[in-house]
């Protein structure tokens, strides 16, 4: 699913120009581009990763949120195989069976025996992989807190996966890069390095119906897309309304 938004500032632009003499000479296309730049910035901020304390930035704080999220999720889903002797707790038969299952690749039998010994799990695999983690994510793109972990025989692959996913942080935001470049929005390298598809159509000088359309073709879930739309549009609307109110109050004070 992709997200495409069209910025319409007509309800506010004329009023702003009338109230503020400094903007009286600005054309509608100029105002549209000015607000379009801020709109794209809002969209980038509203695209994961972020949390309640970083929804308004700064972007580098949002990166930390993303890095922490992939680290927590990966280690929540995957756990290294416990030491056989610790699990067996002196039971030689149990230790022998565990080693046999590992040696022969009898992963289902190994998973069952691990549960019997108290190591609750939802399966056993040789390596932690991005593909497997993707299948376990919820609609918000996170690994649910409920549920049992997957036991990984090659424990080092968990850390390798964490490092791989850290490098992916910023991919969703990068879908706004075409619009950011076109409108002059400064974006840090951890976002701009990705080649996520997106587009921008600048029709700000189109007679009769000027507009700026931007799109992000990342694989958004419906919940994520809704939040982006709601946040970015409402923030831009609210900001322009505050500008109008401030100008009205300034004019009233002069009377």
Q: What is the pLDDT of residues 203-245, one digit of tens each?
A: 878 777 777 888 888 876 555 666 787 788 788 778 877 877 8
Tell me, yes or no, whether 213 lies in a domain: yes
Cβ-count burial of 23 within 10 angstroms (0-12 exposed, 13-18 middle, 19+ buried)? Answer: middle
Question: What tokens appear for 97 in the block?
Answer: 């069976």
Same-domain pairing of 75 and 161: yes
Last residue of a domain, one of 166, 185, 205: 166
pLDDT digit string, tens, across residues 121-169: 999 999 999 999 999 999 888 999 999 999 999 999 999 999 999 999 9
The answer to whether residue 114 sits within a structural domain is: yes
> Does 148 share its domain with 192?
no
- Domain total of the chain: 2
Residue 18 has pLDDT above 90, yes or no: no
Q: Of 135, 166, 197, at which residue does a domain stop?
A: 166
Question: Is 172 exposed, middle or buried, given 0-12, 13-18 or 19+ CB atoms closer than 10 A?
Answer: buried
Calculate mean pLDDT across residues 245-251: 78
Both tokens assigned to 130: 């991005």
pLDDT at 23: 63
Domain span including residue 106: 67-166
My answer on whether 161 and 174 are in the same domain is no
Residue 58 belongs to a domain: no
**Rounded CA separation 221/227 (Å):** 10
Q: What's the pLDDT at 32?
A: 78
């Amino acid at each position: 699913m992709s997200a495409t938004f069209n910025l319409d500032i007509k309800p506010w632009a004329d009023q702003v120009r009338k109230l503020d003499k400094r903007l009286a000479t600005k054309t509608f296309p100029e105002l549209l581009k000015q607000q379009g730049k801020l709109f794209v910035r809002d969209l980038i901020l509203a695209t994961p990763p972020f949390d309640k304390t970083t929804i308004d930035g700064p972007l580098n704080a949002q990166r930390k949120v993303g890095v922490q999220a992939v680290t927590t999720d990966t280690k929540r889903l995957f756990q290294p195989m416990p030491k056989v002797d610790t699990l067996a707790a002196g039971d030689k038969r149990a230790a022998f069976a565990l080693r046999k299952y590992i040696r022969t690749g009898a992963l289902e039998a190994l998973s069952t025996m691990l549960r019997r010994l108290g190591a609750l799990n939802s399966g056993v695999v040789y390596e932690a992989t991005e593909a497997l983690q993707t299948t376990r994510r919820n609609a918000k793109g996170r690994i649910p807190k409920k549920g049992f972990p997957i036991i990984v025989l090659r424990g080092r692959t968990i850390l390798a996966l964490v490092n791989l996913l850290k490098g992916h942080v910023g991919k969703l935001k990068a879908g706004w890069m075409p619009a950011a470049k076109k409108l002059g929005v400064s974006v840090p390298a951890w976002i701009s390095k990705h080649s996520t598809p997106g587009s921008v159509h600048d029709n700000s000088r189109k007679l009769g119906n000027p507009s700026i359309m931007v799109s992000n073709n990342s694989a958004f879930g419906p919940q994520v897309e809704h939040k982006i739309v709601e946040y970015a549009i409402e923030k831009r609307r609210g900001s322009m309304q505050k500008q109008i109110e401030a100008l009205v109050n300034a004019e009233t004070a002069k009377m």
